[in-house]
Each structure stands twice: as structure tokens, then as C-alpha cells.
């Protein structure tokens, strides 16, 4: 595919693996489930999220909730920051990745598949570690502009990295030729119900930690974490509000909610929040259109300011994507929401930042 640069030839990897007899060909017999069909047709609900929570518990951190009097004063509300920047691999993505890897292993009754994902960095790191922990190979396809620390981390967790350079916002098109080359052992992992139920475990945990939350604000890209949290939180308290937080330039949820039709960017939008430069996926949209109460967008300046405040005031490292929900809560749009929304859960979704090369420009 044009624009796809291999820094490691995938065929040589699989041949190498075959010659070392690590992988036997994976044959899908009549009795084995068609995974794609299974994933696409499974229902994410409170129960499946609770089961995911039990499934991933031995592998993940239960992350803390931080508060800041300073931030409370700024917003006039009580903010509860769910610090998933402390999650393994530095972002919440490890929850969904662990869940899907365990689910696939369960379904295949084998670890002889190759997990393939397209990632701006955090999902790649998460899939990489989750797969390696289960003795499963993984291939991560990243944009060549992906930050060096994220690429290094993926490699160190054990993945093969493939770089691409197109700016077309179509992850599936980028993944297709790689999957074709890998053959039947390749399993494509992006936003699907197994990921959503894994990310939804954050909602469950937040509601256990702070049962009296009135609203939760979630940094949103593909919408997987937003939809998972919305399902879990609203099952526990149907009156709770759930808002997506998006960069102004990457506001596919806002646009989709305004028109009632999923909006897709043709090119990756420009934003400092690299994890959110993506499109709302259909599985998430199916949930978001019914469960999410709105999208609050933040300008680039607001995202940078929120990131700065989190570093400065709360003494924790957050990346721009991870600061987007905080930026939304600090914005004038959020200020206009009813004052009865007093106790607000704010997702701090990730802290993977290249401290040496970080630039405050998008």
C-alpha cells in the first residue's frame, strides 16, 4: 500500500516464526467461533463489563482518584480525577487490550494468533504488553510521526512495528495489506465490543470509588472508552451525565451528535492531542448516540493550559490527549452546564509523553 513503510518486513517475521516452529497454522474448524462475527455480535452491557473487570483484575492497576482544591475553585465544582496515566503502559488502553487478548485466547483456545493494531501510540503499547504477557505475538502499525518514546516502548514490550505515512484517516485501509500478508493468524484489534467492555471497567471503578458522581467527562477519540464508561456508569446510576471531551479540530462526536449521523474525517485532524486524531468508530457510535449527553470541545490553547495546570498543580505527568477532559471541564462551555452537576469525574487518560522532544505546538 502506498504510504506504508516497513521498517521490518512482516513476511520475514512470520517466516522466521514458522521456521522456528513457534506458530502452527491456526485452523478455524466448524466448531471454533468466527471471532469477527462473535466480536461484532456480542453485547456490551453492565454484566459483560463486570465480567471484563474480573477478567483483567490480575493484570491491571486499580488507579487512584486525585482531587485538587485549586481546580475545584477554578470550576466551582468538585472534580475527581481518575488517574489512568498511572495505568500499566501509561494509559487506560491497557484495560481494553488485556480484555481482548484474554477473550481471544479463550475463544481460540490458543495463543497462536498474531494481534494486529493501528495506533497513535497508546493502544500499540497496550496491545504489545498485553499480548506479550499472554505469550502472543503482536504487530503494531503506527504513523511515522508517532512519538519516539511510544515506539520504543512498543518495541521493548515485544512488538513488531510497521510505520505508515499516509494522512488519510482510515486505519482499516492501513491495516488491510498487513493483515493480508500475515494471513489467517492475524487478528485485527481496534475498536470493537471487547475493547469497549475493557475500557468500560473504568466507569465501574469510578462509580465504586465515588458513588455520588453527577457527571463524568471522558477524553474521546474512537469513542470506545466513552461508550464503555457510559454503559457502566448509567447502569449504576441512570441519572448520571456522561460527556465526551474532544479537541475542537477533532470533534467527530460533536458533529455526529449534531446531525444524528456518524461523522468521519477524511484526513487526520491537526491537534496536539495525538491520541484523539482519529475517527469515531461505528461500535462506539451505536452506544454514544443513545448514552452520551453531549460533547464538550476544547481549543488547542485550552488543552495546553489544562496539561500545564495538571503538571503544575497536581504534580502528575499527563499527555495532551489525557488532559482533554480537564480542558473541557475548565472551559466556558462546561461552566454553562447546570450547577446541580456538582461532583464531576474527569478522566486523565494517559501520561505518555516524550519529555525530551515534547513541543507545545501541534
Q: Contact between 129 and ligand PLP (CB under 6 A)?
A: no
Site for ligand PLP in 27-86 (CB under 6 A): none
Tell the smallest beta-carbon distance from residue 350 to ligand PLP (Å).
3
- The residue among 127 and 276 lying less far from ligand PLP, judged by its C-beta, is 276
Q: Contact between 117 and ligand PLP (CB under 6 A)?
A: no
Q: Contact between 314 and ligand PLP (CB under 6 A)?
A: no
Q: Contact between 223 and ligand PLP (CB under 6 A)?
A: yes
Q: Contact between 275 and ligand PLP (CB under 6 A)?
A: yes
The single-letter DSSP state of residue 267 is B
Greatest alpha-carbon span in the chain: 64
Q: Contact between 296 and ligand PLP (CB under 6 A)?
A: no
Is 93 among the catalytic positions? Answer: yes
- The residue among 114 and 253 lying less far from ligand PLP, judged by its C-beta, is 253
Q: Which stretch binds ligand PLP (CB under 6 A): 130-138, 204-212, 287-295, 314-322?
A: 314-322
Per-residue exposure over 72-101, b if at least 16 CB sit within 10 Å of its own CB, e if not: eeebebbbbbbbbbbbbbbbbbbbbbbbbb
- Other beta carbons within 10 angstroms of residue 60's beta carbon come to 22
Residue by residue, DSSP assigns 155-177 as HHHT-EEEEE---BS-HHHHHHH
Q: Which stretch binds ligand PLP (CB under 6 A): 48-56, 159-167, 213-221, 298-306?
A: 213-221
Question: 112 is written with which cell numbers?
Answer: 497462536
Task: Please report which helix (H) or strand (E) contains residue 210, including its range.
Answer: none
In the chain, where does DSSP find H-type helix? 10-19, 35-41, 46-56, 69-75, 93-108, 122-133, 148-157, 171-182, 193-209, 224-236, 252-259, 282-291, 300-309, 324-330, 332-335
Q: Contact between 120 and ligand PLP (CB under 6 A)?
A: yes
Annotated active-site positions, please? Answer: 93, 120
Q: Residues interacting with ligand PLP, by CB under 6 A?
A: 91, 120, 122-123, 199, 219-226, 275-276, 319, 321-322, 349-350
Amino acid at each position: 500500500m502506498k504510504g506504508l513503510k516497513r521498517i521490518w518486513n512482516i513476511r520475514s517475521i512470520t517466516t522466521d516464526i514458522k521456521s522456528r516452529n513457534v506458530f502452527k497454522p491456526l485452523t478455524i474448524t466448524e466448531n471454533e467461533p468466527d471471532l469477527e462475527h462473535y466480536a461484532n455480535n456480542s453485547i456490551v452491557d453492565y454484566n459483560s463489563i463486570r465480567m471484563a473487570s474480573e477478567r483483567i483484575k490480575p493484570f491491571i492497576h486499580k488507579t487512584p482518584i486525585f482531587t485538587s482544591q485549586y481546580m475545584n475553585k477554578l470550576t466551582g465544582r468538585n472534580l475527581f480525577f481518575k488517574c489512568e496515566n498511572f495505568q500499566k503502559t501509561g494509559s487506560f488502553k491497557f484495560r481494553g487490550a488485556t480484555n481482548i487478548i484474554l477473550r481471544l485466547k479463550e475463544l481460540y483456545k490458543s495463543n497462536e494468533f498474531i494481534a494486529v493494531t493501528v495506533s497513535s501510540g497508546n493502544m500499540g503499547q497496550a496491545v504489545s504488553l498485553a499480548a506479550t504477557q499472554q505469550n502472543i505475538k503482536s504487530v503494531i502499525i503506527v504513523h511515522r510521526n508517532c512519538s519516539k518514546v511510544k515506539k520504543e516502548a512498543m518495541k521493548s514490550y515485544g512488538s513488531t512495528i510497521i510505520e505508515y505515512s499516509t494522512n488519510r484517516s482510515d486505519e482499516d485501509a492501513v491495516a488491510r495489506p498487513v493483515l493480508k500478508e500475515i494471513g489467517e493468524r492475524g487478528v485485527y484489534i481496534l475498536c470493537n465490543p471487547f475493547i469497549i467492555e475493557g475500557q468500560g471497567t473504568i466507569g465501574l471503578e469510578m462509580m465504586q470509588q465515588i458513588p455520588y458522581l453527577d457527571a463524568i467527562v471522558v477524553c474521546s477519540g474512537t469513542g470506545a472508552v466513552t461508550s464503555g464508561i457510559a454503559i457502566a456508569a448509567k447502569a449504576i446510576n441512570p441519572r448520571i451525565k456522561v460527556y465526551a471531551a474532544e479537541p475542537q479540530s477533532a470533534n467527530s462526536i460533536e458533529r455526529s451528535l449534531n446531525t444524528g449521523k456518524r461523522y468521519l474525517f477524511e484526513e487526520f485532524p491537526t491537534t496536539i492531542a495525538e491520541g484523539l486524531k482519529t475517527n469515531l468508530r461505528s461500535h462506539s457510535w451505536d452506544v454514544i448516540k443513545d448514552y452520551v449527553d453531549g460533547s464538550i470541545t476544547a481549543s488547542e490553547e485550552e488543552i495546553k493550559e489544562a496539561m500545564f495546570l495538571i503538571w503544575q498543580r497536581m504534580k502528575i505527568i499527563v499527555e495532551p490527549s489525557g488532559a482533554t477532559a480537564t480542558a473541557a471541564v475548565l472551559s466556558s462551555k462546561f461552566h454553562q452546564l447546570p450547577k446541580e452537576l456538582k461532583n464531576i469525574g474527569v478522566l486523565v487518560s494517559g501520561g505518555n509523553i516524550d519529555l525530551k522532544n515534547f513541543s507545545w505546538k501541534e
